[in-house]
Each structure stands twice: as structure tokens, then as C-alpha cells.
Amino acid sequence: MKITIATILNQFTEWVENKKPISPATWIDAAIKLNVLLEGLDEEIVEMETLMSEAEMELIQKDNPISKTNILKRGAIEYKDYLSAIARKKRIEEFIRLAKKRQVTNF
């Protein structure tokens, strides 16, 4: 089975919901994997931001006001997916921070 960000986070969600203890080694192992997999999410976010920037430049060249441009550029992508990707990245970064703290507190 392929390891993905979703599979790791879903497994931890299941353990938390079922109140299963999670060892410090498991936290660190998951954090390392998430850190490696974060590259793909970063690339996804960069691609969406690039598309929005290109759309913004086109709109500015058509003499649209900046306020209107900021709204219209979101139409170049699925903005909801973009916001979800940003939120997922923040959760992963926090997971990694917590895993590090969990590892330190158990020594």
C-alpha cells in the first residue's frame, strides 16, 4: 500500500478517536514521512499560486482595478482546493512540531 499524507493522518485520527496510545517512535516515524511527503503538497500549492499570479498579470494588463483583480484571479484555480491545501500544510507542520515535542518529553 502506498503511503500518503492522507493515510498517515487518517491512521492517527483513527487512533485518537479510539483513544489508542501512540508511542513516541510512532510519532517521529510519521513526522519523518510527512516531512518527505510535504514536498508534493508544496508543489501543488506553488502550481496553484503560479496560475493565480499569471491570471493576475493578465487582469492587470487589461487595466482592471487591483481590488477586482484580487478577486478575479481566484477564478484561475479551484480556490477551495487551494485553501484546503494551505490548511493541510499548516496541520502537517503542526503535527511535525508536536511529534518533536512528544519525542523530547519522553526522554
List average pLDDT for each run of 10 residues in the chain, which is 107 residues long: 94 96 92 95 96 92 89 90 96 93 72
Boundaries of domain holding 77: 44-107
On whether residue 48 sits in a domain, the answer given is yes
Q: Where are the alpha helices (DSSP H) in the chain?
A: 5-17, 24-61, 66-72, 79-105
* 29 occurs within a structural domain: no
The number of domains in the chain is 1
Grid cell at residue 72? 478575479
In a domain, 7, yes or no: no
Whether residue 57 lies inside any domain: the answer is: yes
What's the pTM?
0.82
Q: Is residue 66 part of a domain?
A: yes
Residue 15 lies in a domain: no
